[in-house]
Structure 1
């Protein structure tokens, strides 16, 4: 016997062994998802073969040429206590069975294993998200046998794969008349409910009714003489067996849409909103788009492919066609079925196609419309779905402000920020609401960027704005600084950082305040120059502050320069930031400044006091002194002297 055809026993990849242990011993709360996953895999196999045939890339050994030939069959053998899931899809070779069923190439599997916890319902829902659905069979099966024949391979080159999930699996070459794959689950004790046709029908209806291929079970009839149900050699289709998005909206219920979303999102709860439309014109296509309720674990993983499912005339083409939506809408799930694209379309062709560009524009506008409709719920205290959406996906919309100039105005209206007029970081305000309650004399939308909400609230930059009752937006996400370099105005009001330059504070001050500041600057010019001389290596200048009320000092960036917050972020990321010295602003009314100002010219500790004031300002800004050890030593020295 040839070595390639004989039976051999191999060990599972280490990650698979851990995964199987968890499947067998931990995930019991929502066992029925195993059937959803195995049916989904069978559907994918049929999709791949149909695509291969229609595109001319694959010639099957048997005649399987149209959608009516593809079926998924569930067979329950009560005597043997086995459940089989069989398809006539693309099948696997011996090498593919070893590769796909013995190892997990998907990098997210480590994260999957790490996320399994005591919340069993949540655990079970995670399975499909990480591409490990096949292994869910071991939740109910003590042994799994897979027999598969590739569609383009001869009958005597089929493979049998078998494992009890204990750490090893066997493979051997067999003869199989039909192409495709048959999974046989040898059920554990106590799992006999999966031999019931009623149970199988109920689970298929709940999770897999949308599958575009017939899911069939054998018909049963009551034998009055034997007083038992007898299985006939006739097959009955138990699902709709047509793509949900091809059906009229009038015949679909909310439950139908929600069940289909579960199949897309692997049971990840109900969607916030969906849109189902047939688009006609220059490009004809059907779109079914969903806004999820919860962000996926890998939303910020740039290596993770993410996109809509692409069909062409109901033929499955691509799982994650990222070209159909811009990257900042990568959280959207759904299906696009085009009438115009060729069946052999590739990712490269998708990037160049005019039809795809039209689909992308249409889908983008539809998603933004859904978000605008969702935002209308903000005034509903009982069901503010937009607040929920913003917590999960708000930062991705901020990317869009910089990346999608054509829709920047619409996106700006969807942005939400914490502000000094809200009670917590969870309460947010739109730019439109901010503009509506601006002071009559106010010309700018004021904002402050900081490391955290608490740091922003404690910033000395806010003091004059609190005194004047002027609202300031508090921006604490890492993407904010980058976004603001592309968003300079809203509703003809420019956005102004209160930590840069003068922040146009002179326009907020009355004549008395302006005169007092000018007089103080002139009267204390020698002290200001002396302080500037002491810190000349570290700062650009010293100025009398118009923004400080309670604090002695603060530092600000020059108008037009990179903010100090962004400089720190770049430095933390190991990137080179442009070198620019800050401005030190002082509050001449503060007792500490008055104490330093009173030091005689010959005082030897003036340099220490000047350095302490600068370090204090840096700390208040959320930064770190240039030399923390020297700061502590200097502080101790001055405290002892005092």
Structure 2
């Protein structure tokens, strides 16, 4: 038995240990993660040395954890490379670049800052003193004729080193054994196998060496993302996906990738068959699990993929981050941003390939995840890729289930067409009746149908695609549409004479007087064919649907003032013109003007009180039914 020596901790180390012991840091279980990670590193060094020397190692690589509730201890043993006396003093007892003022500031800031401290100073081993009153490290180096060394400390001011008699160290031919004497209030929490297994499963499940708690190996699931893709079957992918997500279905799609630059990492990502939250209540239930060398750093990291790709489940494992990096540091980490940029490009590239190779399969994806994916309109760096992948229903489709891409639209566009037209509505049926689309139906020009409010933001953000401008149908320039041939000849009434045109101008003024400030202007329309009137925004920039969205956001319940466009070729308007010529003050003009205006409001979704409209309709039906009876009697 060698001489026992006592060594003082450096001042910074003593202060750090005091912070750890007296902190309010709640996630104390990470001490076991840190000790397992150190053991795994020691085993990796043995494997590297054996490979370099060309000698097969006869000792099985493993990590064993045991607990003794009566003694209040946890013991972690590995068959790794072990440490010499000098290595032990160098590895345990020194913290580089630590400053007293910085440590004190972090201590005052509490738990979150302590997490950052552990990451910044690389002090994983010292986290054991959050739960321990004393720690004994017994280690024997792999070096020939190495003497086993004992290191003991209560984590306050000093530690004791002693060389041991090789014969006195049982079951430690090589490696390190750490015995943790738990604080009394920690015994019930950690000194039991069930708790230890749970911690291993949570943080260290994919460590590359067997981890035993008692006699049971806990980490039985392979870190599949680290395996060569050509060796993995679809059944293995499906099994791992179910283990990861608890989904009973197999994944819809799998993306397994390994990247060497600009950051080295492996990723295994899955697309589920269905969205997991149709009501948008589980937005936080997203993110990829982040590992560093098989050790879990953060469950469902929110920075690796943007929210619109939140349907992707999986893991990312990198060699380039420190094991103890904190959550706060992760958010601002340049390597994380580089990994994220690469992952986004790979996910979008995979979807692009799916859409190109198998459109029917892509339709399945879109029906499951399209609504979430459309939030990618905010990803300006990937605007072009996003534009290729977004889908809408269209007037070309036979029903509301059909999907059209911008590329499909352009392929069907008319010669010299420089615009992609779209319209928003509550349903395909409603858009089929929209006055704004009459001219498009008449000329056979395709219109993309938008049903969700987010679709407006997609169009407003993209603005153009492959040189064609995205234009709302209600803002279409008639001069632009006039150049396209009308597919079917319309049966129009004879054109207005000069006198009738003059009377029409007066009628429009009269209608404006009737409606007053409810409209900004009343004018003749060039776009209408079968509808008598429509409403248009006076500025010509904001669409009606976008205006509604902004009013909801600002809680504005007032009815917007718009331009009332009148179709001079409609039979009702022609009758109003005849009535006005006979008597400019005929009450029917007032009645019809109000009825047409409120009907237009109703179609736009702005009419909140329909009582007056219903009353007018009933009165007109009563009168017209009398006229109808008299006419048929004759």
Q: Which has the larger radius of gyration?
A: 2
Change in 2 beyond 3 A, CA 1:372/1:581: same
Query: In structure 2, how many angstroms separate the alpha carbons of the residues matched to 1:518 and 1:566?
Result: 39
Q: Which residue of 1 aligns with 2:585?
A: 602
Q: Secondary structure at the match of 2:256?
A: strand
Shift of 1:639: 2.8
| Offset from partner CA, 1:374-412 (integer Å, 9 cap, x none) | 112444xxxx221111112112222112x1111001100
**Is residue 68 of structure 1 aligned with residue 83 of structure 2?**
no
Change in 2 beyond 3 A, CA 1:632/1:315: same
Shift of 1:67: 9.6
Change in 2 beyond 3 A, CA 1:567/1:302: farther
| Offset from partner CA, 1:153-187 (integer Å, 9 cap, x none) | 4589654xxxxxxxxxxxxx9x957683579xxxx
Q: Which residue of 2 aligns with 1:633?
A: 615
Query: In structure 2, how many angstroms separate the alpha carbons of the residues matched to 1:88 and 1:448?
Result: 68
Query: In structure 2, how many angstroms separate the alpha carbons of the residues matched to 1:48 and 1:268?
Result: 31
Q: Which residue of 2 aligns with 1:396?
A: 372
CA contact (8 A) 1:215 1:238 kept: yes
Query: In structure 1, how many angstroms separate the alpha carbons of the residues matched to 2:264 and 2:497?
Result: 68
**Residue 466 of structure 1 is aligned with which of 441, 444, 451?**
441
Shift of 1:241: 4.8
**Residue 424 of structure 1 is aligned with which of 370, 380, 399?**
399
Q: Which residue of 2 aligns with 1:35?
A: none
Q: Secondary structure at the match of 1:274?
A: strand
Shift of 1:49: 5.2
**Is residue 614 of structure 1 aligned with residue 597 of structure 2?**
yes
CA contact (8 A) 1:274 1:370 kept: no
Query: In structure 1, how many angstroms separate the alpha carbons of the residues matched to 2:316 and 2:415?
Result: 48
**Is residue 180 of structure 1 aligned with residue 195 of structure 2?**
yes
Shift of 1:447: 0.6
Q: Secondary structure at the match of 1:448?
A: strand
Shift of 1:313: 1.2
| Offset from partner CA, 1:32-83 (integer Å, 9 cap, x none) | xxxxxxxxxxxxx999554344789xxxxxxxxx9932679xxxxxxxxxxx
Q: Secondary structure at the match of 2:269?
A: strand
| Offset from partner CA, 1:265-284 (integer Å, 9 cap, x none) | 21241222222122112311
Query: In structure 1, how many angstroms separate the alpha carbons of the residues matched to 2:461 and 2:349?
Result: 22
Q: Which residue of 1 aligns with 2:422?
A: 447
Q: Which residue of 1 aligns with 2:101?
A: none
Q: Which residue of 2 aligns with 1:351?
A: 331
Q: Secondary structure at the match of 2:438?
A: helix
Q: Which residue of 1 aligns with 2:33?
A: 51
Q: Secondary structure at the match of 1:635?
A: helix
| Length-normalised TM-score, structure 2 | 0.64
Q: Which residue of 2 aligns with 1:367?
A: 347
Kindly report which structure 2 residues correspond to 1:236-385, keeping only aligned pairs within 5 A, or say none: 241-297=221-277, 300-301=280-281, 304-379=284-359, 384-385=360-361
**Residue 477 of structure 1 is aligned with which of 434, 437, 452?**
452
CA contact (8 A) 1:561 1:580 kept: no
CA contact (8 A) 2:206 2:294 kept: no
Q: Which runs of 5+ in 1 are unaligned?
A: 1-44, 57-65, 73-86, 90-149, 160-172, 184-203, 218-233
RMSD: 4.0
**Residue 540 of structure 1 is aligned with which of 497, 501, 520?**
520
Q: Secondary structure at the match of 1:328?
A: helix
Query: In structure 2, how many angstroms separate the alpha carbons of the residues matched to 1:67 and 1:562?
Result: 68
Number of aligned residues: 457
Q: Which residue of 1 aligns with 2:555?
A: 575
Shift of 1:428: 0.7
Change in 2 beyond 3 A, CA 1:267/1:602: closer
Change in 2 beyond 3 A, CA 1:517/1:363: farther
Change in 2 beyond 3 A, CA 1:363/1:243: same
CA contact (8 A) 1:421 1:471 kept: yes
Q: Secondary structure at the match of 2:474?
A: coil
Query: In structure 2, how many angstroms separate the alpha carbons of the residues matched to 1:424 and 1:275?
Result: 33
Q: Which runs of 5+ in 2 are unaligned?
A: 1-26, 39-59, 67-73, 77-178, 625-634
CA contact (8 A) 2:252 2:271 kept: yes
Change in 2 beyond 3 A, CA 1:495/1:241: closer
Change in 2 beyond 3 A, CA 1:47/1:406: farther
CA contact (8 A) 1:215 1:241 kept: no
